[in-house]
Amino acid sequence: MEEVKPLDINLSEDVAEGNYSNLAIISHSTSEFILDFAAMLPGLQKAMVKSRIILTPEHAKRLLLSLQDNIAKYEANFGAIRIPQQGPNFSRGGKA
């Protein structure tokens, strides 16, 4: 069995700053998943997409599994993440 070597990942300063997002719009085709991350300001019905990530279906599934694992670890340390029932529901129509 081959030894797994750690990845050498570089992070530029502008990417390290990150982008704030409070809205994700997810769509897909047979060959890719598209994740648009946007920022929506209170009281406005317009959102600006700050970042778009395009993934293969396999990598989208790996991202899902990794998020589930990390959320479980977070909740084990800090308690359940509560999602308020009020406000718009973006879980339909490709929006999450």
Q: How many domains does the chain have?
A: 1
Q: Which amino acid is at 63?
A: L
State yes or no: pLDDT of 19 exceeds 90.
Answer: yes
Report how far residue 24's alpha carbon sits from residue 47's, in angstroms, rounded to the nearest whole number: 10
In a domain, 67, yes or no: yes
69 occurs within a structural domain: yes
Does 70 fall in a domain? yes
In our burial notation (b when 16+ CB lie closer than 10 A, e otherwise), range 47-80 reads beeeeeeeeeeeebeeeeeeeeeeeeeeeeeeee
Distance of alpha carbon 24 from alpha carbon 33, whole angstroms: 12
Instruction: Classify residue 30: in a domain, yes or no.
Output: yes
Residue 65 is assigned to a structural domain of this protein: yes
Convert the pLDDT of each residue in 22-78 to its tens digit: 999 999 999 999 999 999 988 888 999 999 999 999 999 999 999 999 999 999 999
Give domain status of residue 90, yes or no: no
12 is a domain residue: no
What pLDDT is stored for residue 3 in this prediction?
86
Domain span at residue 31 reads: 20-78
Residue 55 lies in a domain: yes
Residue 95 clears pLDDT 60, i.e. is over it: no
Higher pLDDT, 61 or 92: 61
